[in-house]
Structure 1
Amino acid sequence: MVLYFSASGNTRYIAQLIARRLGDDCIDLGGRIRAGDYAPIRSEKPFVVCAPVYICEMPRFVRDYLKRLPMRGNRQVYFVFTSGGYAGMSGSLAARLVKRKKLIYRGHAEVKMPGNHIVSDAYPQPSPEECLRRIESATKQARQIAAVIRRRGTLKARHVFLAEKLIILPFNSLWSRYGQPSKPFYTTDKCVGCGKCSRLCPLGNIEMKDRRPVWKGPCAHCMACILNCPFEAIEYGNITQKKEKYNISHYVRAEK
């Protein structure tokens, strides 16, 4: 069973590709997270959890959801992380989570995808050509990952050094609390009040008032709202106006 959360489509693309190669089912956790749905998920095959990386770890709301989710049947769990190039503590924290659930951790893989954190100038946007190259490389890597899982091998990624842990853990706690404001989000005159942004927010923090979205806190900066608006009507401060609203559907055909 392949489980995933995806905001801009990167992780969905990898999860669906792996599921097809394994001949396995694929479940989008986004709706379950929004609804607080903790109904057990059973799988006779190993679980494969696919998640993006936010500030050097998997999204905290995904991790918190997995902590409470009953995962029944097969006890083996693989993780696949998508990021713009650095997955930080994602694997270490995933291993800890699996151990606490008394399941069997089978390793993790890190897949480099086009970066999508467009609300900060600290992360340069890749060109369309670079996006295509990354997606092509990630596609090949996902096939290799699926082959390892199919033969029940162990996924292996880079070692995380102690110095990294000492920096990342306290920094992430502060960043998650103070570094992800939602106040700068706003809509332009292109907004038609469709409400898609509100429906996609994994934390349920976008409320529609008078057919306009209102962002509340806290925010995970997942980018689901700004990168999935069909009219590109959402902006963030004065940072995003000239940036591509990246979504993998601009580059590859969406899977049904």
Structure 2
Amino acid sequence: MIFYFTGTGNSGYVASEIAKANNDTIISISKLINEKKELDFTLKDGEVIGIIYPIYAYSLPNMVKEFIKNVKFKNYKNNYVFSVATCGDDAGNAIGIIKKDLNNKEMTLNSGFSIIMPNNYIILGDVDSKEVERRKLENAKNKIKKINTLIKERKQNVFELEKGLTSRFLTGAMNTIFEIFFNNVSKFYSTDDCVSCGKCEKVCTSNIITLAKGKPQWSGECSQCLACIHHCPKKAIQYGKSTIKKGRYINPYFKEISTDRYGRSLNV
């Protein structure tokens, strides 16, 4: 079983492609957490466990951290466990965090990978040019094929990560700054271009958006996935002045997936 967290579709796409190649299912972490599902799963003998997520400030999204710490796998018998991080250029020390949390459960992370994907965190940057986006997505396809081969072969201790020399420091320092300054929802707002379609409420991974008189309102702890901004069909959602005149990005290969009441995919 493959668990994933996605905002603009990059990690969702990777999860879908790996699931298809391995005849597996994908399960939305945000759906499990938001709907307060039981995080108990019974493994089949030899069943593979995958955790796929984006890198936020050189670390994992808080919701993914919460999931890993609280999930329970029954019948775990040294099942093969892998993780894949999608990132702009550096996976930080996310793998180290996952290894530690799994070790606390007497589980082992057997392999870990990162895949460079198109930029989407437009609060501190902008989206890539169409050519750069195209090239990154093409490279990602090739990387996914390689990862699928390694998973099928159950390769051990393979960790292929985009990682700078200061990754461990950045994971601690940048993630702390991120938590303090960028999880605040007060800077989100919608402009007069909003058509009250409700898309933002539907795609919010933190389940903190509600419509009041047809307009989105944010209240609660934000994951900073920026799904609301990127999915808005009218580009009506902004974050302070940081996102004005910035581009928008949605992974072109990841489509909305129908799921059952446990968050498991019905069409992968």
TM-score, normalised to structure 1, is 0.89
Pair 1:169-2:180 in alignment? no
Pair 1:230-2:226 in alignment? no
Deviations 1:117-157 (A, max 9, x none): 0122xx34310111011011001101110110111103312
Q: Which residue number corresponds to residue 266 of structure 2?
A: none
State the identity as a percent.
27
Pair 1:112-2:116 in alignment? yes
Deviates more, 1:175-184 or 1:26-35: 175-184
Aligned equivalent of 1:184, options 183, 187, 200? 187
Distance apart, 1:32 and its partner CA: 1.2
* Aligned mates of 1:157, 1:177 — CA distance in 2: 30
Q: Which residue number corresponds to residue 106 of structure 2?
A: 102
Q: Which residue number corresponds to residue 83 of structure 1?
A: 87
* Aligned mates of 2:196, 2:162 — CA distance in 1: 46
Q: Which residue number corresponds to residue 55 of structure 1?
A: 57
Contact 1:201 1:224 in 2 (8 A): yes
Deviations 1:81-138 (A, max 9, x none): 0011111011110111111122221121010000100122xx3431011101101100
Q: Which runs of 5+ in 2 are unaligned?
A: 258-268
* Aligned mates of 2:203, 2:245 — CA distance in 1: 23
RMSD: 2.2
Contact 1:107 1:156 in 2 (8 A): yes
- Report the number of matched residues: 252
Q: Which residue number corresponds to residue 255 of structure 2?
A: 254
Deviates more, 1:188-197 or 1:94-103: 188-197
Aligned equivalent of 2:155, options 138, 153, 162? 153
Deviates more, 1:190-199 or 1:62-71: 190-199
Distance apart, 1:163 and its partner CA: 5.5
TM-score, normalised to structure 2, is 0.86
Q: Which runs of 5+ in 1 are unaligned?
A: none
* Aligned mates of 2:178, 2:139 — CA distance in 1: 31
Contact 1:38 1:68 in 2 (8 A): no
Amino acid at match of 2:155: G
Q: Which residue number corresponds to residue 133 of structure 1?
A: 135
Deviates more, 1:225-234 or 1:155-164: 155-164
Aligned equivalent of 1:201, options 200, 204, 217? 204
Deviations 1:4-30 (A, max 9, x none): 111000001111111111111122222
